[in-house]
Structure 1
Amino acid sequence: MILDTDIGWQPGGLVALVAAARVVPNLVVVTADETRGRRAQLARHALNLLDRVDVAVIPGFYLGGEDRFLLDTDHPFPEHGEDFLERIRGLDRMIAAIVELCETTTGPIQWVGLGPMSNLTAIISRLPEIADRVKVTQLGGVVDRHPGRTAVSENFRVDPTSAGLALRALHNPRLLLVDHTDHDALQMTANSPLLEMLEQPNAPRWATLLAMHLRAWLARERTAWLRDPLSLSAALGLPFVAFHTERIGIHPDGRLSRTPHGRPIQVSSAIDCAAARTWMHDAIRI
């Protein structure tokens, strides 16, 4: 399983990483919307705290999203930014590492996309046949627009070109639409029992790290969404998310719409939020 995550921004990414580290034996982490190595540094630190030194962490595509990272003293902003050539070399290293992994793996490859689809698009562009092998579960997309909700989800808005290319190249990808993931039962607040559990005095260091990031997010937003671990559960084949196939039109700005001439894509149709939340709590229970 390849977890493609913009860890270090919305705290659901770190929740998903903790859950994956505890339940997925063959795990690789690629950082989406990389911010000069800070996401990869955070992922490596968290995995080490979880005794998963065996899990490779591959820095992914740089999109310039320095403002989409919660700063802390353990992962400071670099004093000197990478130059353009170093970013290109980093991209080449990421693609080479994933291509090597795919070429040396004989079984199915689950790709869990929790951030922009830039990494996956870059890999498919370099080795198109990988699109036949990866089973993609991607968080993102809005089809049924509701009052007060933007027409484009954040993962597609950040890099709409990559989202459009990947969704056209993949065979039957699955999308967890924001239409269904933004449910009250998938929210965390400053008073959530899960946060209280993570902040116990004798909590392990990974739990303290997760609690710190949750507090940092809740200091700027009233709630934190648990979309990312929900996406992980779907990739694991757990029964919390129902999918059905629809023909979806993909617009240049990342918008999605139903159309008879669109591409067949599996989209979420319903979520058992109560069961999913119970599983999430159990997956990161101390």
Structure 2
Amino acid sequence: MFCAPFLASGAPQVLLDTDIGYDLDDALTVWAATRTVTELGILTTDETPTNERAHLTTEILHALGRTDVPVIAGRKLPGAQQRFLMAGQTSVNRPLCTDLIDYVSAVYEGSTQPVIWVCMGPASNLADVLIAHPEFAEQTDLVMMGGWLDHYRRPDRASHNPRMDPRAFGLVMRAIRRPRLVMSTHTNAAALAITPASPLYSWLTMPQAPADYALIAENATRWFAHRLQREPGAEPSSWMSDVVTLAAALDVGVVDFATENVRIEEDALMYRDPNGCELQVSTSVDLDGFLDWLSAVLPVTAMTA
């Protein structure tokens, strides 16, 4: 299943593009990536004026022992401060890079193979890069979380990541050659939901849990509280959509894709159209295979406690 070359010398460069500090699955994806990817960089998006997401990412990486991973504070979007954010304590004293275009340019110019871009938030950062360097489109292997075609829990709107910056989403989907979309339709599955009753959450929050994972546990606790506040009486949860997207980007073999020609509207809603842009969209997720892979990636007790 998992392709070992991502941990080998000369492995492809992987860029995680994340709005970490919001839904729990971003932090879980960073955790999984630190255990599976050697050449890793993390770009934050939907940033706050003080780059709180980047500071949180730096703290999490420091706790996980991956101080080699660069963190770059990315695009700030309107309304970021009104959205839920589990900020860190900014206790790690490391310089923070905010020049995303320069950093990404150096990555692309230093790579002899396609750069794997895992988009787990709005497509704003990649849109900015492609506007500055359209030649990078041919060197980008994009796997993005989001979008739907046939059915979704909110059929009146696009899913979260595309609708956060519809113009960027449309630009990126048209510019990149055959981008892969892990669609919300296929990740909104009960088997992928982390809840307060899940073994993973129980393990993260037990009294003897390793301090390395304290920020991830806190993100989970605060996210569940936020969801309960919004939907009193409902069981709070977080789907591991972004972690599935990372697995797809690493060619683990748990997501099936098919080619579709798609028309993308101004609000990021998508419709089949023979004259639309050609995308690779997910058709199914092997849930058991994904959970087996994740159990092998994370500490053994975390998934079974």
Q: Give yes or no for TM over 0.5.
A: yes
Stretch moving more, 203-212 or 226-235: 203-212
Tell me if the contact between 1:35 and 1:69 (Cα under 8 Å) persists in the aligned partners: no
Distance 1:219 1:147 in 2: 21
Deviations for 1:154-184, whole angstroms, at most 9, x for unmatched residues? 1111100000001000001000111111111
Find the counterpart in structure 2 of residue 80 from structure 1: none
Paired residues for 1:134-149 under 5 Å? 134-146=140-152, 148-149=154-155
- Distance in 2 between residues matched to 1:164 and 1:27, nearest whole Å: 26
Partner of 2:77: 63
Deviations 1:211-231 (A, max 9, x none): 111011111221111101100
2:260 aligned to which of 246, 250, 267: 246
Contact 1:139 1:176 in 2 (8 A): yes
> What is the identity, as a one-letter code, of the residue corresponding to 1:172?
R
Q: CA–CA distance in 2 between the matches of 1:212 and 1:180?
A: 27
Residue 9 of structure 1 and its aligned partner are, at CA, apart by 0.3
1:260 is matched with which residue?
274
Alpha-carbon distance in 2 for matches of 1:209, 1:281 = 20
CA distance in 2, matches of 1:194, 1:147: 25
Q: C-alpha separation between the residues in 2 aligned to 1:41 and 1:32?
A: 12
Identity of aligned residues (%): 35
Pair 1:41 & 2:55 matched: yes
Deviations 1:222-268 (A, max 9, x none): 11111011000000001111001111111111011111111110000
> In structure 1, what is the equivalent of residue 286 of structure 2?
272
Which residue, 114, 120, 124 being the options, matches 1:114?
120
Conserved? CA contact 1:145–1:151, under 8 Å: no
Conserved 8 A contact 2:145-2:182: yes
Q: 1:71 offset after TM fit, Å?
A: 3.7
Residue pair 2:52, 2:87 contacting (<8 A) in 1 also:
no
2:197 maps to: 191
After TM superposition, list the pairs within 5 Å mapping 1:1-286 onto structure 2. 1-36=14-49, 37-64=51-78, 65-72=80-87, 74=89, 90=98, 93-146=99-152, 148-221=154-227, 222-285=236-299
**In 2, Cα distance between equivalents of 1:142 and 1:4:** 20
Tell me whether 261-270 or 219-228 shows the greater mean CA deviation: 219-228
RMSD: 1.7
User: Could you give the per-residue CA deviations for residues 52-98 of structure 1, whole angstroms, max 9, x where no partner exists?
Assistant: 1110001000103113342456259xxxxxxxxxxxx94xx111111
Q: Distance in 1 between matches of 2:90 and 2:240?
A: 23
CA contact (8 A) 1:249 1:261 kept: yes
Between the aligned partners of 2:289 and 2:202, the Cα distance in structure 1 is 20
1:261/1:118 Cα in 2 relative to 1: closer, same or farther (>3 Å)? same
> Partners in 2 of 1:101 and 1:259 — Cα distance?
35
Quote the offset at 1:192 in angstroms: 0.4
Q: Secondary structure at the match of 2:118?
A: strand
Structure 2 contact 182–281 (Cα < 8 Å) conserved:
yes
Distance in 1 (alpha carbons) for counterparts of 2:213 and 2:237: 19
Contact between 2:254 and 2:287, CA under 8 Å: does it hold in 1?
Answer: yes
Task: Give the superposition deviation at 1:47.
Answer: 0.6
Contact 2:22–2:86 (Cα < 8 Å) also in 1:
no
* DSSP-derived class of the 1:190 partner: coil
- The change in CA–CA distance for 1:73 and 1:118 in structure 2 (over 3 A counts) is closer
Unmatched 5+ residue regions in structure 2?
A: 1-13, 92-96, 228-235
How far apart in 1 are the matches of 2:101 and 2:138?
17
Gapped regions of structure 1 (runs ≥ 5): 77-88
Look up the SS of the partner of 1:39 in the other structure. Answer: helix
1:149 Cα deviation after fit: 4.1
**Bigger shift: 240-249 or 195-204?**
195-204
Give the counterpart letter for 1:38 in structure 2.
E
